[in-house]
Copies of this chain bind each other. A is one copy, B any other.
């Protein structure tokens, strides 16, 4: 059975987990789970040598500003990447996939590539690894395998995948669907043939190379040249600035997956969250009997469905339902769990009101 080489995508920034995430402190690097970051959690989930499929040391793809901290965090949990590809600037996931397959080619690495975001949470590790093992045959047979999450509500923040005919451990992909409106999302939920697109891909690098060459030749060529001309120091590959900057910026879904005939989907229910909001994070965390999640110096009294965490002042919550209370040294957010998407309403007004330093 072939091995799996994880490719951890550590890019991007954002403030949807404000006040914990900040512009210069992206969410995959923040301690969020028992003192570990989502990057550490993601890497540990794929730790080489653990049971299940044969998983190799990961490749990390990250921006220059975050590279040192990312590698330090991985070292702290005993993970040594086989390579760190440093992006001079972000060029979206198609360029990342193209750089990863170019790296495989350049190093003669024959493993299947598992391309995945490093800022998601998956709580059911057993199911995750079993599903990976089951997807290997599909990837070996020339499929680009995506993992489809069983939708639990009509979420409008995710792309959807409609399954077609059964193949192996999964299904051919009948269609990728962009983020739907709420009526469409509700129809998808009723239909039963739709999964959330988790943005996790397992593939043979030669297959991805072929499909990139066919559907997104500019991206394949640009990323490949950026890898060939990379400045290397031990395991660090600084992608060539000029070549990478010239590579078109597109999501892999749009550049390849929506067009290729070889996409497959493996539906899986594994306690997945993209940790896109405080509420979607809370969804996959262990709760007390009142449905509450706490972290840090927090006291709850008679609460239900409360997510309370503090890395700053001691925080007490009394008689409250369905609210998240997020406390840091310099900011406090109290937000209805139904309004988690609206953190941006705060972060956008903070700048106007002279609180830029809190973003």
Contacts and interface: CB of A to CB of B under 8 A. Distances in A.
Interface of A: 19, 299, 301-302, 308, 310, 312-320, 323, 325, 327-336, 338-339, 342-343, 345-346, 349-350, 353, 355, 358
A322 to B, nearest CB: 9
Given A313-B330, A313-B331, A350 B318 contact: no
Given A319-B342, A323-B320, A342-B319, A314 B332 contact: yes
Nearest to A338: B319
A10 to B, nearest CB: 28
Contacts of A327: 313, 332
20 contacts: A299-B353, A308-B334, A312-B313, A313-B327, A314-B331, A314-B332, A314-B350, A314-B358, A315-B331, A315-B334, A316-B335, A317-B334, A318-B333, A318-B342, A318-B346, A319-B335, A319-B336, A319-B342, A320-B323, A323-B323
Q: Copies per complex? A: 2
Given A310-B332, A314-B331, 13 more contacts: A299-B350, A301-B346, A313-B313, A313-B330, A315-B333, A316-B331, A316-B334, A318-B336, A318-B339, A318-B343, A320-B335, A320-B336, A325-B332
Contacts of A353: 299
Contacts of A308: 334
Contacts of A299: 346, 349-350, 353
Contacts of A19: 316
A308 B333 CA distance: 11
Nearest to A335: B318
Nearest to A317: B334
A108 B323 CA distance: 60
Nearest to A306: B334
A49 to B, nearest CB: 40
Nearest to A339: B319
In this complex, the member of A299, A318, A350, A358 whose beta carbon has the largest number of chain B beta carbons within 10 angstroms is A318
Contact of A316 (B301, B319, B333): B333
Nearest first, the 6 closest Cβ-Cβ pairs linking A and B are: A319-B339, A319-B336, A318-B335, A315-B332, A316-B346, A317-B334
A345 B320 CA distance: 14
A50 to B, nearest CB: 37
Contact of A334 (B302, B323, B331, B342): B323
Nearest to A353: B299
A345 B301 contact: yes
A266 B336 CA distance: 45
A316 B331 CA distance: 8
A276 B312 CA distance: 28
Nearest to A346: B316
A329 B313 CA distance: 7
Contacts of A345: 301, 318
A150 to B, nearest CB: 28
Contacts of A302: 339, 342
Contacts of A355: 314
Given A301-B345, A346-B299, A330 B314 contact: yes
A328 B332 CA distance: 11
A150 B310 CA distance: 42
